Structure 1
């Protein structure tokens, strides 16, 4: 038996399989995640082969689950929001699944984890505030927050381009990204992520090199914002 988040035993025999090809799939997912970190705000699509078998394994989207399996190991502490499992039983089963396949330690307090997984929503702002941002002496100790969203939209902003006269698509908050890995500027919308979260993230850049690395996932796609990326809030109700 494997313990879940609340200590509820979960039969190992009932746990779903992980990556079909653990070594290849984990490496391919990690490389795509590195690409996302190196190109902030650009939406990346994970290889179908890497996601094989993960589509209906847990309540997590395939990309979210692939990132969890690729990042977590016996030396990491992982916090999974209870909301990710949709109900306590599924959350316990999800945590047991992750522990079985990765050997990760479960962090019961989000402030003590190295990787946090959450569903998009108002609670994400509180999670961002509570995560460990590292220190000036050891910024690498800063946590990574993975947020599963309902949609990811991105637009390139070429240098010298005239601002578009039409409103940006969607009803969410658009942000303008600049910094390392971005040639001029990039625009990103994470469906369901509210203004308060982006305000907190924009303010956090003032503490660089301390900070939280962000990964956004949706279906088979992901995008990332390392702590070095500067964020300017455009807003969903503004023509730019």
Structure 2
């Protein structure tokens, strides 16, 4: 049994070049464009932002939304462990090959995480929220949802929002909002989130207050 396990782990370290998902066509230009879009999404919480990245046609074969895939390509590098909620070999190979980022099964070690099914996502407190002296060391989550504007409306307030904004993310379990509210007491620590659907996303920084019933 132990020999089989060692073989499996070794096999998973080998990238299947024959089915490798292509990354950006223009690495520098596309990475910068996606990075600016991600900053814009956090600066304007609740706004739907399009990620117009030049990804190859085979990218959708991975069970990952294009916006999340482009974001991981733009942000991840050798120093940022990535957690993938779904054990997607094609996505894992693409992230490792194009960014050099290591994959981790330890959520507390992840700098970036992709959750392809919000309904079964781990609890938020299992991810790193940073420390008071280094709150920037918190995880950033990319969470796949059903829709960015067809869910139950919730009121968002905080920096980047004039008075209030109504946001209707569809596909999140109700516990998500309660778990996030519990993290508010840890500020400036906390977790920044992006909700992704297709080629678009919505940013939810830790500074945003969401009114939960």
Whether the TM-score (by the shorter chain) exceeds 0.5 is: yes
Q: Does 1:28 align with 2:33?
A: yes
Give the aligned CA root-mean-square deviation in angstroms.
Answer: 2.1
- Give the drift of 1:123: 2.5
Match of 1:123 among 96, 120, 124: 120
Q: Does 1:187 align with 2:187?
A: no
Match of 1:173 in 2: 152
- Give the drift of 1:95: 0.6
Change in CA separation of 1:23 and 1:147 when aligned onto 2, cut-off 3 Å: same
Q: Does 1:68 align with 2:75?
A: no
Match of 1:58 among 62, 77, 80: 62
TM-score calculated relative to the size of structure 1 = 0.79
Match of 1:134 in 2: 130
- Give the drift of 1:219: 0.6
Specify the SS of the correspondent of 1:106. coil
- Give the drift of 1:22: 1.2
- Deviations 1:14-52 (CA, angstroms, capped at 9, x unpaired): 2121111111111101100000010011111122x5345
Structure 2 spans left out of the alignment, 5+ residues: 1-6
- Structure 2 distance, partners of 1:212, 1:197, is 12
Specify the SS of the correspondent of 2:108. helix
Match of 1:77 among 76, 81, 91: 81
Q: Does 1:145 align with 2:136?
A: no
- Structure 1 distance, partners of 2:61, 2:78, is 21
- Give the drift of 1:12: 1.8
Specify the SS of the correspondent of 1:50. coil
Match of 2:206 in 1: 227
The answer on whether the counterparts of 1:32 and 1:44 sit within 8 Å (CA) in structure 2 is yes
- Deviations 1:37-70 (CA, angstroms, capped at 9, x unpaired): 10011111122x5345365352211111101111
- Give the drift of 1:5: 7.7
TM-score calculated relative to the size of structure 2 = 0.89
The answer on whether the counterparts of 1:4 and 1:10 sit within 8 Å (CA) in structure 2 is no
- Structure 2 distance, partners of 1:96, 1:53, is 17
The answer on whether the counterparts of 1:39 and 1:181 sit within 8 Å (CA) in structure 2 is yes
Structure 1 spans left out of the alignment, 5+ residues: 83-87, 154-169, 235-240
- Structure 1 distance, partners of 2:138, 2:152, is 25
Specify the SS of the correspondent of 1:73. coil
The answer on whether the counterparts of 2:64 and 2:116 sit within 8 Å (CA) in structure 1 is no
Change in CA separation of 1:179 and 1:118 when aligned onto 2, cut-off 3 Å: same
